[in-house]
Chain A
């Protein structure tokens, strides 16, 4: 079988490395019976097109934030929800397609309602808040314009932070931060470094509010056309790669903190006064209010600590 594997990650991103290496290893593990051709950098379209492409079968495989599948099953976004994981390892356990009951339950519905199956995940780092002033508690963000990814989950989260959610395209983000259209944003440190946001932002609050885990998904018909051995081989490759991605991200985070400090950014952590509990409480309350359906899944996830 020949699989087209699309994603929107750019050159140099962990997800791009993940996809490229996974493709080679799947080919090796299946003795060349399954070949994977990777199309990075939105070559086959943006996120929505990629998800629809996998549903339709024009693309066989892809990966992105869990929330990108919310157009099929809204509750899948719970795996992107802020403050539901205690740490990265917890996030990886809760998103394991083989063992996580919450994920399996939602996966059944994705297969049923959209013909899409989650078969793996990628760890991409924790998301932190960057800004051009010091942030220690949600009070510091009150009423200020912060960039929100234009999805309701993010809008809800930024509202929970106390800030005013303001949508900005990724390509205009550095400019919007420079001109002051928004005074801060949230992303993994890799993104902050790769997009040189340190040039337009002075502070990072190490909130780690979201564990950025990406879902690797496949078209169900394509998946069923593979033999059980092939499926097992692919799952095994993706599982090993998921563990590797966690390692890449954790190794790089420490280095990135040093690098960004060297470039003049100031980091706020729990040690020097960051009130994480206030963030957690406010944001979870907002999420609870905006997404009542998440409740049972959040409980399931939290019980997997």
Chain B
């Protein structure tokens, strides 16, 4: 499953790079911009962010300021970690469920120019949070490993 996700994500990212590039070539070299290219690019971004989210949860790369927690005594840290994972799981499940319900309400909704149906990116959103929930659930049963506790929050 992780492998599939990775391939989908990589394909999305490649499209995200190539599409605007192609648009530049079409407009500046051939003088005819592709109608709807921006819409498709935005749409791909939405899908990319959500579909890659389970990978973020899996590798523990969510942006977090863990400094206070790291300074707590081991037992407190353990219980707080459990609470965080539990509530994170809850939030993911909630969003996933609401999104799933939303898909049926939005079956006829589509983007204005290319008429890309909404269910595709709502589906991506569902995959993102459902996948996130799965990996949070795994964390719940496999409590933090020693190296987890001193990984610093890193964001770009």
Q: B-contacting residues of A (Cβ < 8 Å)?
A: 48, 52, 70-71, 113, 143, 145, 150-152, 155, 164-167
Contacts and interface: CB of A to CB of B under 8 A. Distances in A.
Interface of B: 27, 31-33, 35-39, 108-110, 112-113
B108 to A, nearest CB: 8
If over half of B's interface residues share one DSSP class (helix, strand or loop), that class is named, otherwise mixed; here it is: loop
Given A150-B38, A167-B38, A143 B113 contact: no
A63 to B, nearest CB: 18
A152 B27 contact: no
A165 B110 CA distance: 22
B112 to A, nearest CB: 5
Contact of B27 (A70, A71, A145, A151): A145
Given A150-B38, A150-B39, A167-B38, A70 B31 contact: no
Nearest to A113: B108
Contacts of A155: 35, 113
B31 A143 contact: yes
8 contacts: A70-B112, A113-B108, A145-B33, A150-B38, A152-B113, A155-B113, A167-B33, A167-B38
B76 to A, nearest CB: 39
Most chain A CB within 10 A, of B35, B108, B109, is at: B35
Given A48-B112, A151-B112, A165-B33, 20 more contacts: A52-B109, A71-B109, A71-B110, A71-B112, A145-B31, A145-B33, A150-B36, A150-B38, A150-B39, A150-B112, A150-B113, A151-B113, A152-B112, A152-B113, A155-B113, A164-B31, A164-B33, A165-B35, A166-B27, A167-B35
A50 B38 CA distance: 21
